[in-house]
Amino acid sequence: MFEDRDIQQIYSKGITLNQIKAQVARLEEGMTYSVLIGAATIGKGIERYDASETEKLIQLYEAKKENFSILKFVPASGAATRMFKFLFQFLQKYNPSKETIESYIGKEANSQVETFISNLKQFPFYDEVLTKAHETNPNFDNLSRGERCLYFVKMMLDEDALNYSFFPKGLLPFHQYNGKIVTAFQEHLFEATLYASSENQANLHFTVSEKHQVYFDKTLKAIKSDLEADTGVTFNISFSFQKEATETVALTAKDEVYKNEDGSILFRPAGHGALLENLNDLDHDIIFIKNIDNIVVAEKNIEVSNYKKLLAGVLLEAQEKVFAYLQKLTEGTAEEADFNLMVLFLRYRLNVPVSVDFETYTFDEKTAYLIDKFNRPIRVCGMVKNQGEPGGGPFWVKDKNDEVSLQIVEFAQIDFSKTVQQGIVYKATHFNPTDLVCGVKDYKGNKFNLKDFVDPEAAFITSKTHNGVDIKALELPGLWNGSMAYWNSIFVEVPLETFNPVKTVNDLLKPEHQAS
């Protein structure tokens, strides 16, 4: 299948030949769909806390966080191109010499452009773009309204102007305070001081693309000292790239490995599941995970951040109990009565169904079984009420060994051709907005090897086009999907206000992104 030059290329990326053969086999065999047996709902996989319980868990975290090394992990490599999709279409389609801007935006398909143009002054980048427009065209104010709108968008997006679509979301103007532009990157640093810091230290790790690293460094240098002075917190910021060793091959329609024109194998980034490698390299007790674009203005963030503390309090409470049980089990001091309590905790707190044969096990078998079930990373995931947003949902899933577990499942993992599976999806009440806090160390303080808890069957296969050729592409199990399949999971309802992503530039007009 592979020539010597192919094998050299494979090894140069830090990938083994067996890994490539496994990728090819996975692509040939096709997608392994999740088998849903029920939607996780309140009381059946999703916990809900009242105000009093929430406050106690927040206080638990606040009281104990200084004892832990805490990190905020932010996937931030995505370019902002999709944010401006409708504006690129506007640049292509609108001709001010042939129709007025009012005529263009009056068409039903252009409602996004209408929203954008009608609210220009509300965008944090308005002054910056306007200044650029005047710099490059002294006659700007004398243009027709349609020409000004078109020129404004050109100044935003043209490569030789501000070139916003080249940059990652994290470095775009997101918010504005008294005329001062603030990026999502800076907002994440501030947010870390609210819940993800201890002993006046805030550790943040951003996964970025290599071409953007220099811009993140430049931004950090410009804001770090002032932010530290304002908050009294020292920031330890690190970056990493998606590793070449996580890239995957693609197959043609004839199930042949796709090769570039120069004869080299096409390797593609393998989705956010590749970031498990980056996460696994980090050595901290508690790790919060949150997407770069899900950030609100500072005044609203204080309330939102309380729910991060809630999740962390749930984690610490569960982790303390798990560690105490593991101490007993490994020291040999557990008794039959303890086993009963542990089984109840597994079932009703960690959502781990226990084997029906458990009671028939010997004492030693019960001990080994419970150690195996408890001694795993723990994740506590925020779940918001489903408002029709795309994304992973919480479901009870059965694996190939008929073991049931609580999982976050993407729609791409579900076989919608099966009526039963469809029906379960329609009963789902919540979805996961990438809002997690993770305990990645064992009861002895040793870091888990997170790669030991991945379900390789949960890989994604997608149809793509490359240079006009249809290909089958492989993505690794998603970071909070199959990559965490064998973690112990607790799902907690949090308010919809905690989910404020910026998918299109118009999302910046929402109240959560506007300072009062």
What is d(CA 488, CA 76) in angstroms, rounded to the nearest whole number? 26
Residue range 160-175: average pLDDT? Answer: 96
Residue range 446-462: average pLDDT? Answer: 95
pLDDT beyond 90 at 331: yes
What is d(CA 27, CA 24) in angstroms, rounded to the nearest whole number? 5
Residue range 342-364: average pLDDT? Answer: 95
Say whether pTM exceeds 0.85.
yes
pLDDT at 110: 87
pLDDT at 390: 58
Residue range 409-427: average pLDDT? Answer: 92
**Confidence at 434, pLDDT banded by 50, 70, 90:** confident
Percent of the chain at pLDDT exceeding 90: 91
CA-nearest of 448, 453, 503, 498 to 480 is: 453
Between the ranges 186-190, 260-264, 461-465, where is the mean pLDDT highest? 186-190
pLDDT beyond 80 at 388: no
What is d(CA 124, CA 295) in angstroms, rounded to the nearest whole number? 15
Percent of the chain at pLDDT exceeding 70: 99
pLDDT at 389: 65
Residue range 362-366: average pLDDT? Answer: 96
Residue range 141-148: average pLDDT? Answer: 96
Residue range 71-79: average pLDDT? Answer: 93
What is d(CA 511, CA 172) in angstroms, rounded to the nearest whole number? 18
pLDDT at 154: 98
**Confidence at 516, pLDDT banded by 50, 70, 90:** confident
**Confidence at 2, pLDDT banded by 50, 70, 90:** confident
pLDDT beyond 90 at 1: no
pLDDT at 391: 62
pLDDT in tens, 189-208: 999 999 999 999 999 999 99
Look up residue 471 and give its amino acid.
Answer: I
What is d(CA 156, CA 129) in angstroms, rounded to the nearest whole number? 6
**Confidence at 308, pLDDT banded by 50, 70, 90:** very high
pLDDT beyond 90 at 300: yes
Query: Long-range contacts for 369-375 (Cβ within 8 Å, ≥24 apart)?
Result: 370/325, 370/329, 370/334, 370/339, 370/342, 370/343, 370/346, 371/326, 371/329, 371/330, 373/346, 373/488, 374/322, 374/325, 374/326, 374/329, 374/342, 374/346, 374/488, 375/326, 375/442, 375/443
pLDDT beyond 90 at 164: yes
pLDDT beyond 80 at 392: no
What is d(CA 445, CA 323) in angstroms, rounded to the nearest whole number? 10
pLDDT in tens, 218-263: 999 999 999 999 999 999 999 999 999 999 999 999 999 999 999 9
Residue range 322-351: average pLDDT? Answer: 96
Question: From residue 379, how far is each of 95, 178, 288, 301, 316 by CA, in Å?
Answer: 52, 39, 10, 22, 11
Nearest-10 crossing angle of helices 17-29, 4-12? 100
pLDDT at 108: 76
What is d(CA 489, CA 311) in angstroms, rounded to the nearest whole number? 12
pLDDT in tens, 4-46: 999 999 999 999 999 999 999 999 999 899 999 999 999 999 9
